[in-house]
Amino acid sequence: MQADRLPPHDLSAEESVLGSILIDGMSLTQVTGFLAADDFYREINRQVFEACYELVQRDEAINQVTVTHELENKDLLESIGGAAYLSHLVEVTPTSVHIEHYANLVHRTATMRRLIAAAGDIADIGYNNDPDVDIALSAAEDALFGIRQGSQNRDFVPLSETLNTYLESSGGLDEDEDGKPTAPITTGYNRLNEIMVGGLQRSDMVVLAARPSVGKSMMGLNFTLAAALAGKTVGIFSLEMGREQIALRMLAAQSTVNMQRLRTGLLSPDEETKRVNSIGLLSDLSIYVDDTPFQTVAEMRGKARRLQMVHDLDFLIVDYMQLINGGSAGGREGNRAQEVSEISRQMKGMARDLHIPVLAISQLSRAVEHRTSHRPMLSDLRESGSIEQDADVVMFIHREDKFTTEDEWTKANPTEPYPRDRASLIIAKHRNGPTDEVEMRVRDSIGVFEELSFQTQPAQQFAPRSGAVR
């Protein structure tokens, strides 16, 4: 009877997961989105998985030799049964093809164990006999909610699924010799495309940086719409905004209807027509949003790889870089600068690995606000100079009206008009081309940057609708 009361576990599935990883190191990326080391019941299996995960965090190969060396460095090889146990894992696994099935079994039994533990915690809450019933019930709910949150396997969700809630409520590719597309991804802005030699180049890591509330996410979504309307598949890792907010912003940009009016539903007949038509158009686009917070780059790469295998991913956006979980790679806990350096390096590796441009949105330091000239510089990139080193392109958004009032501007520049709703997109670093600057008009109410002095692509492109400077 005691055996019947053992916590749920499946050692065969655990060994099959590890054996699959040792057979094919890249198969780890298929399960990093939902499987963690804590999901393993047997301690030695947990240690082997952690060793494999740290190798992939460092972009190193995973096989019996490298895992053996990693465990040796941690003084864990003997405790797990030596190299013989790793050989055993490979022998009992016929193929790595079914790793997701094995991993789901491991994750399911781990969830059941967490449920048992939560039941014990809830029993303790009851025995404590707290005089405040509401506090006790809230604590019990938190115990169960924590399990549900942890077991949710959130992944990319088509934008069309999110946009449906708003209805219910008030060119060929150039390819290389291997068949991989080589054509750049359009930004939606002619002048910027010209500077970027046709657009965002494949395998490039592009950093878009600015101070808070200047429009980093807005510009990223503008790039997303332009690429998707050109027939590309775009993935968005949103670590700050939920996918509902992203959908609303895109809807406002496409329909040119005030975002606040869309949020309240108080629309004129003409605006309602624009809303419905825009939802129809956006739902047909290949845009996928993952709004899981505090992800690691390894988790992102695994999800992006799966998205590319299924939907031919062309462009990836990460919003934003400083919210990425650095994990425990290389034992760098406590040193955020080193963590960001590692994150930056891994993101560049992800761009090359997936053969797509990766747009990493980043914060700038407060040094911008303390200078007489508020124009950002490369040294303002927050927390690590490695971002500048790893990036192929670094772009800054500068809006003087965010730093200077109209009175202050008039005193300092009496002959120049106040730059209200004006922005400069500064290309401060360009590994394969010139640096330059693109002048923009900002329409905050609909979430759109409009290029000045250049006509953008017509057709059914969303709004960057530009005109000449007057």
Active site residue 240: yes
- The phi and psi torsions of 428 (rounded to 5 degrees) equal -85, -25
Burial environment of residue 222 by CB neighbours within 10 A (0 to 12, 13 to 18, 19 or more): buried
Going edge to edge, which strands form the sheet with 393-398?
157-158, 287-290, 234-238, 315-319, 358-363, 205-210, 393-398, 422-430, 436-443, 448-451
Compute the distance between CA of residue 392 and CA of residue 65 in angstroms, rounded to an integer. 34
Residue that has been written with the tokens 């500068």 in this structure: 398
Compute the distance between CA of residue 204 and CA of residue 186 in angstroms, rounded to an integer. 14
- Among candidate residues 72, 100, 194, 240, the one labeled active-site is 240
| Amino acid at site 126 | G
Q: What is the DSSP letter of 451?
A: E
What's the CA angle centered on 237, arms 282 and 403, to 5 degrees?
A: 90
Radius of gyration of the chain (CA): 25
Picking from 329, 126, 316, 294, the residue whose alpha carbon sits closest to that of residue 206 is 316
Burial environment of residue 185 by CB neighbours within 10 A (0 to 12, 13 to 18, 19 or more): buried
Picking from 104, 106, 44, the residue whose alpha carbon sits closest to that of residue 78 is 44
Compute the distance between CA of residue 262 and CA of residue 264 in angstroms, rounded to an integer. 6
The string of DSSP codes covering 219-246 is HHHHHHHHHHHTT--EEEEESSS-HHHH
- Report, as residue numbers or ranges, the catalytic residues: 240
